[in-house]
């Protein structure tokens, strides 16, 4: 017999399930300084590259679930909306992704997960920084 579940209850249940960690094979995902510092994250195409790099890093250590992919898509959408001044939405989406990364961080993947958090922080801060610079030079 089917049962009806409220959407909020379903989401809470999904959040409580943590994806299984991948076995630590002794390899690390490829991360270069260009991946982190070589991009202007105010441009949407670089945001896409950054999100893909975050996904690559996290997927190396964790079997991501649909909640993780939804968080990344929300981050991408929020970054796109920043062109209209939606910086609060970008902050909320980045906070959600960061929470998941921190949930899956352990002593073996700490360095790489910090790199993913750094890219995430640059994605979050770059559009707001560019907007504040434009406001200061325009006045």
Residues 37-84 have pLDDT tens digits of: 888 888 888 889 999 999 999 999 988 788 899 999 999 999 888 776
Work out the average pLDDT over 87-106.
92
Among the listed residues 123, 11, 9, the one whose alpha carbon sits nearest the alpha carbon of residue 67: 11
- Mean pLDDT (whole number) for 104-123: 93
Q: What global pTM score does this model have?
A: 0.76
94 within 8 A of 79, measured Cβ to Cβ? no
Name the 3-class secondary structure at 84.
Answer: helix
């Amino acid at each position: 017999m089917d049962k009806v579940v409220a959407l909020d209850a379903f989401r809470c249940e999904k959040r409580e399930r943590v994806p299984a960690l991948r076995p630590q094979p002794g390899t690390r995902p490829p991360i270069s300084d260009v991946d982190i510092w070589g991009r202007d994250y105010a441009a949407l195409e670089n945001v896409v590259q950054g999100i893909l790099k975050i996904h690559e890093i996290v997927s190396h250590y964790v079997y991501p679930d649909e909640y993780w992919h939804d968080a990344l898509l929300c981050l991408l959408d929020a970054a796109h909306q920043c062109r209209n001044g939606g910086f609060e939405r970008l902050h909320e989406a980045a906070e959600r992704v960061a929470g998941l990364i921190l949930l899956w961080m352990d002593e073996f993947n700490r360095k790489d997960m910090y790199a993913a958090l750094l890219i995430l922080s640059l994605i979050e801060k770059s559009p707001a920084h560019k907007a504040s610079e434009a406001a200061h030079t325009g006045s």
